[in-house]
Amino acid sequence: MGLLTGLVTWPLAPVRGVVALARLIGPEAERQYRDPVAVRRALDQVEQDRTAGRISEEEAAAMEDELIGRLL
């Protein structure tokens, strides 16, 4: 990269940094989102909330469907 190109594109450096960071963080976030252990914990929490009456049967069913969808 030449000096002139570096000076002209210098204001875009933060954008390039954010893009590079997103490329690093994205796969890890996806792995954690689909982690079977995390999904199981969330399903257990839904069951506890349903048992305690904090959420309705319909809400619990919707949450369970979403969580099971993460595994597929």
Identify which has the larger pLDDT, 41 or 3.
Answer: 41
pTM: 0.66
Token code pair at residue 71: 């595994």
* Composition of the chain by helix, strand, coil, percent to 5: 90, 0, 10
| Separation between Cα atoms, residue 54 and residue 45, nearest integer Å | 11
pLDDT of 62: 97
pLDDT of 71: 87
pLDDT tens digits, 11-58: 878 888 888 899 999 999 999 999 999 999 999 999 999 999 999 999
Is residue 39 within 8 A of residue 71, CB to CB? The reply is yes
